[in-house]
């Protein structure tokens, strides 16, 4: 038996396949195939590739939310009502390739919880889900454990319903500074380092009924209203203020989770878990933390498949998508880095999740002042945003001070303070922090590369940013890599 999880119809469509051994056979995003960022539809090429991972025809389909419940919320909120039929949402291509069969639907926040808990190293956990919105729930806290037959069990302990949403608040503030909501929240987070949180108190008192209970006065889903006090505010100050309000609310939820949850292990999911700046605070409340590397809605395809399978999933790493065959090109990459300081890599299976972790990466020598501009000639991103470092895990404490409770950051999920910012300015933000990726002794390609780089230079880290053509999602296959090479005249090695 195989379990196919689907998330689509709103944004960031994804498809995951879990076998009855608990192994993840495949997990990928539509956007990487269709080249449309945040593509909400399950595109044909993705489905076709997923089909190639099938070893038999005995399978179930699982969808990441309940369309009827969602439609009820849309009706109550006076919004346009989406399709009620899950078959209509997933589209005809799926049936053409898999045949017509029923699709089991799951509650949105429960799929977030399952994507986190069933991939985590824990046997029990307090699960916190914070996103913009599922069907009705915007924040949930769960107890999760395995029963004596090994099946995952979930008990919802607390929830906040629409429109009391931390995610919607952050998206509304993203829009307020002229960025694209549901897309560019990470830029708002980066801007926070340059501002002062001078509007945080006014934001909180104007928009929130209760900080303790995360209750909003306004429905920020329909946009900001009455925010005249922000009309002349500096965008950086708005970003810093929004970040502080967001962090205050997240901490209130975490404190509640600690109070009412029965486990010391935290599993955290939902799109808000991508806020790596806020994530530094989690260790104040929990000893052990797990955030699945794809905690937003695209990762929910894995959550839906996990609920279908029911038991613990064998989690190894996030390299679960399209395969570019061949050994990791360590020697060639080192040569390019030595000669040109910068190189593209497209090797092995593509990352599941928003971050390039070494298999679809643009890598550079992080030492010295000139490298940031060199990488930015290609990336052309806002000058104020730094790039991220990828480092051999055993050296992380020599180069960075990790936040309390965090011993590693294998999927770039938290910021750490750089101990030598003057030596590595390209990977350090204005506030002295870096969004660090630590690589354990796991035999992966990026591990082998970092070991060789360290041996040659004495530097255990590289600059790592996603390999993508501007305006497009990350490179997926070799033909994307060829287009990249041609356009930017930068070697991409497979």
Which residue has the closest beta carbon to Fe ion? 131
Q: What DSSP letter does each residue of 345-359 carry, written as one string?
A: EE-EEEESSSS--SS
Nearest to Fe ion of 11, 256 (CB atom): 11
Nearest to Fe ion of 303, 358 (CB atom): 303
Q: Which helix (H) or strand (E) holds 41?
A: none
Nearest to Fe ion of 271, 473 (CB atom): 271
User: Nearest approach, Cβ of 111 to Fe ion (angstroms)?
Assistant: 8
* Residues engaged in binding Fe ion (CB under 5 A): 131, 297
Q: Which of 320, 317, 363 is nearest to 343 (CA)?
A: 363
Q: What is the dihedral of CA 457, 461, 463, 467, to 10 degrees?
A: 100
Nearest to Fe ion of 43, 130 (CB atom): 130
Nearest to Fe ion of 111, 347 (CB atom): 111
User: Nearest approach, Cβ of 225 to Fe ion (angstroms)?
Assistant: 24
User: Nearest approach, Cβ of 217 to Fe ion (angstroms)?
Assistant: 23
Q: Give dist(CA 137, CA 228) in Å, integer.
A: 29
Q: Give dist(CA 308, CA 20) in Å, integer.
A: 10
3-state secondary structure of 268: strand
User: Nearest approach, Cβ of 347 to Fe ion (angstroms)?
Assistant: 31
Q: Give dist(CA 435, CA 454) in Å, integer.
A: 20
User: Nearest approach, Cβ of 486 to Fe ion (angstroms)?
Assistant: 37
Nearest to Fe ion of 301, 444 (CB atom): 301
User: Nearest approach, Cβ of 297 to Fe ion (angstroms)?
Assistant: 5
Q: Give dist(CA 227, CA 138) in Å, integer.
A: 23
Q: What DSSP letter does each residue of 132-169 carry, written as one string?
A: S-SSSEEEEEEEEEE-TTSBEEEEEEEEEETT--HHHH
Q: Give dist(CA 234, CA 7) in Å, integer.
A: 37
Q: Give dist(CA 486, CA 424) in Å, integer.
A: 29
Nearest to Fe ion of 131, 143 (CB atom): 131
Structure tokens at 370: 């000139």
Nearest to Fe ion of 297, 477 (CB atom): 297
User: Nearest approach, Cβ of 265 to Fe ion (angstroms)?
Assistant: 21
Q: Give dist(CA 268, CA 8) in Å, integer.
A: 22
Q: Give dist(CA 292, CA 78) in Å, integer.
A: 34
Nearest to Fe ion of 195, 353 (CB atom): 353
Task: Find the DSSP H helices in 52-91.
Answer: 67-76, 86-90
**Angle at the Cα of 253 (from 250 to 256), degrees rounded to 5?**
150
Nearest to Fe ion of 7, 444 (CB atom): 7
3-state secondary structure of 423: coil
Go through 120-157 and write b for each residue having 16 or more CB atoms within 10 A of its CB, e for each that does not.
Answer: bebebbbbbbbbbbbbbbbbbbbbbbbeeeeebebebb
Nearest to Fe ion of 297, 336 (CB atom): 297
User: Nearest approach, Cβ of 131 to Fe ion (angstroms)?
Assistant: 4
User: Nearest approach, Cβ of 7 to Fe ion (angstroms)?
Assistant: 9
Which residues neighbour 57 within 8 Å (Cβ) at sequence distance 6 or greater? none
Q: Running DSSP on this structure, what letter comes out for residue 474?
A: B
Is the Cβ–Cβ distance between 223 and 171 less than 8 Å? no
User: Nearest approach, Cβ of 132 to Fe ion (angstroms)?
Assistant: 7
Q: How far is CA 86 from the centre of its chain?
A: 25
3-state secondary structure of 201: helix
* Beta bridge partners of residue 415, listed in sequence order: 435
Nearest to Fe ion of 135, 237 (CB atom): 135
Nearest to Fe ion of 166, 449 (CB atom): 166
79 half-sphere exposure, CB direction, 13 A CA radius = 16
User: Nearest approach, Cβ of 81 to Fe ion (angstroms)?
Assistant: 19
User: Nearest approach, Cβ of 196 to Fe ion (angstroms)?
Assistant: 31
User: Nearest approach, Cβ of 161 to Fe ion (angstroms)?
Assistant: 14
């Amino acid at each position: 038996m195989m379990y196919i999880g689907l998330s689509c119809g709103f944004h960031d469509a994804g498809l995951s396949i879990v076998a009855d051994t608990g192994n993840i056979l495949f997990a990928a995003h539509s956007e990487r195939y269709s080249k449309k960022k945040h593509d909400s539809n399950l595109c044909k090429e993705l489905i076709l590739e997923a089909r190639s991972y099938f070893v038999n025809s005995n399978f179930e389909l699982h969808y990441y939310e309940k369309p009827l419940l969602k439609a009820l919320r849309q009706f109550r909120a006076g919004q346009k009502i989406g399709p009620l039929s899950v078959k209509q949402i997933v589209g005809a291509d799926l049936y053409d390739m898999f045949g017509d069969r029923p699709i089991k639907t799951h509650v949105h926040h429960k799929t977030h919880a399952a994507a986190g808990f069933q991939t985590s190293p824990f046997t029990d956990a307090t699960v916190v889900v914070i996103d913009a919105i599922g069907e009705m729930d915007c924040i949930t806290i769960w107890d999760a454990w395995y029963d004596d037959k090994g099946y995952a069990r979930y008990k919802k302990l607390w929830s906040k319903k629409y429109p009391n949403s931390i995610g919607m608040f952050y998206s509304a503030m993203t829009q307020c500074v002229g960025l694209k909501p549901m897309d560019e929240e990470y830029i708002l987070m980066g801007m926070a380092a340059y501002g002062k949180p001078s509007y945080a108190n006014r934001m909180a008192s104007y928009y929130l009924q209760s900080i303790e209970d995360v209750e909003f006065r306004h429905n920020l889903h329909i946009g900001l209203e009455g925010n005249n006090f922000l009309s002349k505010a500096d965008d950086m100050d708005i970003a810093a203020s929004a970040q502080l309000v967001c962090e205050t609310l997240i901490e209130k939820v975490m404190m509640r989770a600690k109070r009412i949850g029965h486990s010391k292990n935290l599993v955290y999911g939902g799109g808000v878990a991508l806020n790596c700046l806020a994530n530094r605070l989690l260790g104040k409340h929990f000893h052990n933390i797990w955030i699945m590397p794809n905690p937003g809605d695209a990762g929910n395809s894995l959550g839906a498949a996990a609920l279908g399978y029911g038991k613990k999933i064998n989690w190894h790493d996030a390299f679960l998508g399209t395969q570019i065959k061949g050994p990791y090109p360590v020697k060639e990459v080192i040569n390019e880095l030595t000669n040109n300081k910068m190189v593209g890599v497209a090797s092995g299976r593509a990352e599941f999740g928003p971050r390039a972790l070494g298999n679809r990466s643009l890598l550079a020598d992080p030492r010295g002042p000139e490298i940031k501009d060199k990488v930015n000639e290609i990336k052309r991103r806002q000058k104020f945003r730094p790039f991220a470092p990828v480092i051999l895990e055993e050296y992380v404490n020599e180069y960075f001070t990790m936040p309390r409770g965090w011993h590693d950051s294998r999927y770039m999920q938290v910021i750490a303070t750089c101990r030598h910012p003057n030596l590595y300015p390209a990977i350090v933000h204005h506030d002295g922090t870096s969004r660090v990726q630590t690589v354990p002794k796991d035999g992966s390609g990026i591990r082998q590369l970092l070991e060789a780089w360290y041996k040659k230079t004495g530097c255990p880290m590289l600059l790592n940013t996603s390999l993508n053509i501007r305006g497009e999602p990350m490179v997926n296959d070799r033909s994307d890599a060829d287009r990249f090479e041609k356009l930017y005249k930068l070697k991409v090695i497979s």
